[in-house]
Structure 1
Amino acid sequence: MVAMRHWPLHQLDIKNAFLHGDLEEDIYMEQPPGFVAQGEYGLVCKLRRSLYGLKQSPRAWFGKFSHIVQLFGLKRSEADHSVFYCQSSPGKCVYLIVYVDDIVITGNDATKIVQLKEHLFSHFQTKDLGYLKYFLGIEVAQSGDGVVISQRKYALDILEETGMQNCRPVDSPMDPNLKLMADQSDIYPDPERYRRLVGKLIYLTITRPDIFFAVGVVSQFMQSPHVDHWNAVMRILRYIKRAPGQGLLYEDKGNMQVSGYCDADWAGCPIDRKSTSGYCVFIGGNLISWKSKKQTVVARSSAEAEYRSMALVTCELMWIKQLLQELKFCEVARMKLFCDNQAALHIASNPVFHERTKHIEIDCHFIREKLLSKEITTEFINSNDQPADILTKSLRGTRIQFICSKLGAYDLYAPA
């Protein structure tokens, strides 16, 4: 097991990243207006370096960056191609994460990190931003007790842009009694504004699992939003105003147990009667992955809806296990899957198929295979203690606060 309590996070930024990427194959472009060679109309230019705006540029840049990083000795993760890692010595490791030209480096080998930075400096025009504080709109606060991530500035910018900075806060992002329909009110006059705002709220869910379900509901009406849909978005903003600095706390809780919680709201959508799946995954008691998604088929029973949700979180658990084992981050013991539906748990452990389950045979075989290999164990959890409940339906304020405390929600800016 690797303890990462004292690992610092370093941030780097590479300038003009695409211009440094050598092309992996011959690429041609039309001669730009004003630079056409005399008498050579209809010809094209062969590019020696990638240019901004071309669809090949990101691939060319990432290929160049990957080659340089691997020359240093880092390996690219097969589970996540944006992650590079190396085991410098027994118990010592370095991890690098890249998003376009923004880089985060962490690990417990300070010497190797310094050498990696110098290697990048020698190949790219790179700026060392020091300890990680702000990355892709996410604010990071580090201390010896843990790490807090939030999007306070991003949330305040949304409130200011919409004129909601002085609005009256509410204790829930969506009214539990509200069922949004496609054509239940007048058409909203500015659909582009609606789409931009909902898109920004989707990005805010990176650190706010408590608004994931509500944002998912309003995002279903992007094509033709109505006034009621806009009012639902405004309620989400009023909920955000209640605690714009709320984020997630990550701390060392003394274990590295991987556990997943899944839930489903059977036939919850009033339009097509499809169910909503929700799951959240914890490592060592810290929330690292969550999702709320409408199912693609209509479930014929609540057990079937819950079972499809179990299959969804099982896929996520297997990917997380692959990533952790590849990075040698920790020894992954048997993962736990918690569900609050007894019928779904019995289907998972019972190898007999009958007419009520034969149409979900693939999901049954997938989950059952993981249970038989003892990679995952299933356990029952009471609905009152189910943290994934917040990802499948609208809840009351007190219930939201209870689940947020279980998810590790933390407001660094709350008054003491």
Structure 2
Amino acid sequence: MEQPPGFVAQGELGRVCHLRKSLYGLKQSPRAWFGKFSQAVEKFGLLKSKSDHSVFYKRLIAGIILLVVYVDDIVITGNDTRGISSFKSFIHTQFHMKDLGVLKYFLGVEVTRSKQGIFLSQRKYVLDLLTETGKLGAKPCSTPMNPAMHLTRDGEPFEDPEKYRRLVGKLNYLTVTCPDIVFSVSVVSQFMSSPTIHHWAALEQILCYLKGAPERGIVYKDHGHTQIECFSNADWAGSKVDRRSTSGYCVFVGGNLISWKSKKQNVVSRSSAESEYRAMTQSVYEIV
């Protein structure tokens, strides 16, 4: 941080100001805010998760309290109703916060409750994306990517690479509630540096697929068990660019899908068995 314009201390030219308090908008402010917030919730008795530092929890005989924080937005859930009310009262004494009631919308994710369970979707996000790209009136298609199509780096360069990168980034966030487009988005993400018109056509097909059902999402409900299940798979030398394989897995807890991924492997597998073992390794690592 430089000295303010017009103010230069005599004999101290070139020196900077030492901040005693984090200023909103600077790089250190989110870190300082999270540190202060963490101290407050830990003072109440919540523990920070070792797997995800944005998750806090407190387990008692009465039940469990879970807290998820993203910058200055938080979600509180659990089955300890009295404990949650007590935590809300405590947090209001520490910060100026607003209770928005039952969770309905969080970071672009829409939450709907019914007798079947909790439904997560990004319908508004999809419609806004289709409107922005001019695909709101496009003809829907049944698959996000043609299985017979193999993208390469050859072809006529796309006229607006920045537009391509922005769209891929937005589709990446959409995979939070749309596991069915994970593979196709991972494929088009591999050509961010120099996209061609063929890569853009693949992106347009993903948009047409989303047009068919913008309300598509995930349902979480009680299946009567808490078993952990994992399914993994991999192709062999599926990439025509570098002959690497692509791994994919999905993890279920209590019959509910909670984690999924599709990613090209880091090395070239010399057999189909090797590519399958690498995919299995990633899935086991995720479970652990």
Scaled by the length of structure 1, what TM-score is found? 0.67
**Structure 1, residues 127-177: CA drift from partner, whole Å, max 9, x if none?**
111111111110011234310000000000110001000000000011111
Kindly indicate whether residue 27 of structure 2 is the aligned counterpart of residue 55 of structure 1.
Answer: yes
2: CA distance, partners of 1:138 / 1:32: 42
Task: Choose which of 235, 242, 258 in structure 2 pairs with 1:288.
Answer: 258
For residues 5-404 of structure 1, the aligned pairs below 5 Å read 29-36=1-8, 41-87=13-59, 89-183=60-154, 185-318=155-288
Q: Give the stretch that moved more between structures: 142-151 or 32-41.
A: 32-41
Letter in 2 for 1:280: C
2: CA distance, partners of 1:74 / 1:145: 31
Give the aligned length. Answer: 288
Letter in 1 for 2:38: S
**Structure 1, residues 194-214: CA drift from partner, whole Å, max 9, x if none?**
110111011101111111111
SS state at 2:130 partner: helix
Structure with more relative contact order (C-alpha pairs < 8 Å, separation 6 or more): 1
Following superposition, the deviation at residue 105 of structure 1 comes to 0.2
Letter in 2 for 1:175: N
**Structure 1, residues 253-302: CA drift from partner, whole Å, max 9, x if none?**
10000010000011100111100000000011110000001001111111
Letter in 2 for 1:250: Y
2: CA distance, partners of 1:53 / 1:34: 23
Following superposition, the deviation at residue 38 of structure 1 comes to 6.6
Q: 2:62, 2:80 within 8 Å by CA — same for their partners in 1?
A: no
2: CA distance, partners of 1:90 / 1:143: 28
Q: 2:188, 2:199 within 8 Å by CA — same for their partners in 1?
A: yes
Q: 2:22, 2:28 within 8 Å by CA — same for their partners in 1?
A: yes
SS state at 2:24 partner: coil
1: CA distance, partners of 2:189 / 2:281: 24
Alpha-carbon spacing, 1:125–1:38, altered in 2? closer, same or farther (3 Å): farther
Following superposition, the deviation at residue 43 of structure 1 comes to 3.1
Following superposition, the deviation at residue 40 of structure 1 comes to 5.0
SS state at 1:316 partner: helix
Letter in 2 for 1:187: P
Following superposition, the deviation at residue 180 of structure 1 comes to 0.7
Following superposition, the deviation at residue 42 of structure 1 comes to 2.9
2: CA distance, partners of 1:47 / 1:260: 49
**Structure 1, residues 279-333: CA drift from partner, whole Å, max 9, x if none?**
0000111100000010011111111100000100000010xxxxxxxxxxxxxxx
1: CA distance, partners of 2:230 / 2:5: 57
2: CA distance, partners of 1:253 / 1:133: 23
**Long gaps (5+) in structure 2:** none
Letter in 2 for 1:102: D
Q: 2:121, 2:177 within 8 Å by CA — same for their partners in 1?
A: yes
Alpha-carbon spacing, 1:35–1:257, altered in 2? closer, same or farther (3 Å): farther
**Long gaps (5+) in structure 1:** 1-28, 319-416
What percentage of residue pairs aligned between the two structures are identical?
Answer: 60
Report runs of 4+ in structure 1 exceeding 4 Å deviation: 34-40
SS state at 1:94 partner: strand
RMSD: 1.4
Letter in 1 for 2:125: Y
1: CA distance, partners of 2:138 / 2:95: 46
SS state at 1:130 partner: coil
